[in-house]
Structure 1
């Protein structure tokens, strides 16, 4: 759940904000591509104020209908869960998500691209997203600019969205909401050129994650620590590796449970893969909130009750949850030195006990 967590302007918070922003680069696996190449001129034109206005204008007329179509697809995907949402609620979520996307477009038009992008593009004639040169030199420069201002502008919109559609007694709807955003983003990006997708997709990924992963709270909790805090250094070291860790946990789980099937399908189905990796990232974020706040309250009072409500409804066994938590702890511990292990182990031990098989 998204919880209002004001971000201080301290150096420790700023350092984690920079790491948080670096998450939001184009995810090529989610883009609908007709070509892997575009000219530098095309990308520069799309990044200009006029180009951003053109992109926003193109999508603005399509958002409502595409969010409704995504809502229908989401309803079909979640039809196996009794009483998640009815037709009226589904339409309401689609309408509210369309309003969020409109707000995203208004922010997108006002922001300038990362300052390093111009420099990176000046060194190449064309951008080929399949090359290592793109991944090393260009893609990092496509991350979100000014993430703190994005948080300030979009959080009230997302809080209103959440308050309208998510209740304490039915948090199963959280998965519905995140899937609604995921599918809406995919269909909207499909209407754009490659340069436009590269520039706008990080904004859409930010929205998807804000619904369910508490990265903002991780950054806010950094304000409790000094610049030389070993706890802060540990989180700084592992936060950028969260996507890699989640993918490794998922692959190992798939290896151990190749025939596992929940109500959403087999573990290797694309949508199940995406939600599984997202869940492992959510667990990591809650772990870092607990480590930085130096207590287990967020995990015990928020994450665990959510999982206890959602997983049985989609026929995800607690054995699989238990195993994936253990795999996550293994992937984290192996990256730490002795002092860092002593810091994090009380929290990872408590997490494993909390999610152990019943």
Structure 2
């Protein structure tokens, strides 16, 4: 047994090593993959002192039990999750130092679908096409392209001097957690797609629920069927994460990070990138609405989000420097 990392005692529902994925390869048929909630991934990494794109664990709905064989600094961001280390509750969106031998128990996600566990130094995993992310559909990287299993070993690239469980002394009682909070009126902004006339206006006019068969490839929506102006067959065309497709049944699908690279369904909209964290946290049965957005508004929203993350990174660096 390795003594240089984390041992998986129980895997949780679907726990995956993820980083920021493989952008720029869709023309080769390679899905982007990566964390569905890039904000939570980046924030968790920054809190422990990693680059924002370092590999971490994406936890869906219910988390794993992990044994740390080395002392480590960890942070949890995203959906609030039941979390304890050696029986002691640990907070969200804060760095926490855990000693060697510590057992971390991660239970249910309480107010979203996904939580992210980052560890100082990141997970030491092989990289394929510039990323260690797990691509479940293609079946590669992470841990052989599959979710965690009991008995897996996760090597770490760094460790800290942590004789006991504690929050680092340089930390003050402030959490950098700006994610959208659960609400019955979640709104995702959508730019009209190439086939917007077939259903984009109706998409905005009603509430939708997330279907149980949603996954990392896409969120299936349930609601009154949207009518197709042209029900005829279409030539398969490029699609990307965030694309809102309209199948013949009239129930839209919002593509996520593991989306296919081409599809033949009408493309009635594109969920803006700044709202991908909100999409990532939707659970089966949750409600969501859509609102129209321009390309300029989408660029401005993403710029504000990235600026906020940059300010957080600078603030954390300043705190560590003063410690």
Higher helix fraction: Structure 1 or Structure 2? Answer: 1
Give the TM-score normalised by structure 2: 0.27
Q: Normalising to structure 1: TM-score of the pair?
A: 0.25
